[in-house]
Each structure stands twice: as C-alpha cells, then as structure tokens.
Amino acid sequence: MKIDLLERRLAAQQAGKTTVLVTDLKTGAQMLLGEGIALGDLALGNEERAAINRAAIEDRSQTIDSARGTLFVEVWSPPLRLIVVGAVHIAQTLARMAVATGYDVTIIDPRSAFASEERFPGVTLATDWPDEVLPALKPDKRTAIVTLTHDPKIDDPALQAALRSDAFYIGALGSRRTHGKRGERLAAAGFDAGAFARIHGPVGLDIGALTPGEIAVSILAQITATLRRDRIKAKEDKAA
C-alpha cells in the first residue's frame, strides 16, 4: 500500500470513518475510497464502483471480477461499539450477546453497586455520569447507544449527549407514554422533532418480549437491522 494512501486511511480510521482500498491484482494500481476520499491511480467504471459500494455496505473484503481483471476490495471499518447506560438485568444479557456479535461494549452507570466486574465480566465499566463519559468516548457512525435505567436523571443527560454525536443507533427503554414525556423534556432542552426521531423508543423490535433476556434480543436485533439497513434496502431493490 502506498504511503500517502496509508496515511489517509489511518486518518479516516482515527476519525471513525470507513475506507475501501481497491487494488488491481494485475497492475498493482490502487484507489482509496471513503467519505470525501478518492485517491489513487486506478480508474474505475460505474459497474466496478457499484460492486465496490456493495462490498462496503456488506462490510466485507472480497475480490471482484471486472472487464479489466480481478480487483481486490479491502474494507476497513472502525470497530463496532455498544454503549449501554444502566447496569440493569437487561444490560447483562445484552452485553454478552453484543460481545459475541463483535461489539466493544461499555457499561455506564453512576451506581457503582450495579456496574461491577462480577455482574459484567470482560466489558468496560464507567461509574461517572453518562453526560461526562459519553463525550470522551466520541461515539461515531459505528457506535450504538442504549439507555436502560428508566430514570430521567440518568437517561436524559445520556440521550442529550447521544443526540449530539454521530451514533448510528440510539435507543431508550420505556413505554410509549414514558417516551412521549421524554420527548417533552428533550424539547424543553432545545432538541427538535428531527433529533427526537433518532431515538428508538420503546427500544427494540416489537417481538412481544417480556423477560430481560427477550428484551435484550429485541434490542440487539433492532441495532443490527439499523446497522444493515442499506444492505436490506439493496436486497429489496434487487428483488423488486
């Protein structure tokens, strides 16, 4: 990989952005693509760009056969992260499943009795207030944030910090009535309807979940559907 492309790729990764390096395996010509990035000496046609875009959506490195020969498409994405506010029973199951799915998990709860290593082995714990922790974590487009305490004193500051971030998913536990009141409080804090619409509330897919484990399943399923919505849409468009 050429040094100028490597430097740009590393800068994009530091900024939480996905990049794709395309290499012509016959000539060695390369092109680095990403948000606001198109660098290199490899000219690409429309069909090749469409295939490269599909690889980026699938978040999977792969080879592509084109008229010029074989292209290797290497996708580099920042790590997936899940930040959970509230060290409750739902969070225990959700954290385990998220780790198994490939997320780096952070649990935030100022109630240190709940946010303990015994209850959450192997994940990062933070016992400061979420509006203090979240800005330092710099949630990006590969970060999901879920609030689970059902306590406005903890959840509301976390949601305000989440809405100021680039997180691809924001979810909040609570009934529709609770979520409506949450919207009123956020509006009073200066957030408009567009910002409030980013919050999935009640959190999780509607699968009739009752137990903490089932609710955790519904939350991770909704996070996955949000993360992969471009891929889902591409499949639907192809089927149509």
| Per-residue pLDDT at 71 exceeds 80 | yes
Mean pLDDT of the chain: 92
Residue 61 C-alpha from the chain's centroid: 19
Place of tokens 């946010």: 115
> Which pLDDT band, with edges at 50, 70 and 90, does 138 fall under?
very high
* Positive or negative torsion for Cα 213, 102, 37, 230: negative
Query: Greater confidence, 236 or 6?
Result: 6
Q: What is the pTM of this model?
A: 0.85
| Per-residue pLDDT at 66 exceeds 90 | no
**Per-residue DSSP letter, 43:** -
C-alpha to C-alpha distance for 45 and 24, rounded to whole angstroms: 13
C-alpha to C-alpha distance for 121 and 201, rounded to whole angstroms: 28
pLDDT score at 238: 63
Token digits for 237? 């468009």
Percent of the chain whose predicted confidence (pLDDT) is above 70: 96
pLDDT score at 109: 96
- Region label for 40, one of left (φ > 0), alpha (ψ between -120 and 50) or beta (otherwise): left
Determine which helix (DSSP H) or strand (DSSP E) holds 54, and give its type and residue range: helix 46-58
User: Rounded mean pLDDT of 168-196?
Assistant: 96
Determine which helix (DSSP H) or strand (DSSP E) holds 66, and give its type and residue range: strand 62-66
Beta-sheet strands, E only, within 98-196:
104-108, 124-126, 143-147, 169-172
> Which pLDDT band, with edges at 50, 70 and 90, does 230 fall under?
confident
The b/e string for 26-40 (b: 16+ C-beta within 10 A; e otherwise) is: eeeebbbbbeebebb
pLDDT score at 237: 65
| Per-residue pLDDT at 183 exceeds 80 | yes
> Which pLDDT band, with edges at 50, 70 and 90, does 235 fall under?
low
| Per-residue pLDDT at 82 exceeds 90 | yes
Among 32-36, 83-87, 152-156, 214-218, the minimum mean pLDDT is found in 32-36
User: For the chain, how big is the Rg over CA atoms in Å?
Assistant: 20
| Per-residue pLDDT at 240 exceeds 80 | no
C-alpha to C-alpha distance for 76 and 6, rounded to whole angstroms: 11
Tabulate helix, strand, coil % of the chain (nearest 5): 40, 20, 35
Tens digit of pLDDT for each residue in 87-126?
Answer: 999 999 999 999 999 999 999 999 989 999 999 999 999 9
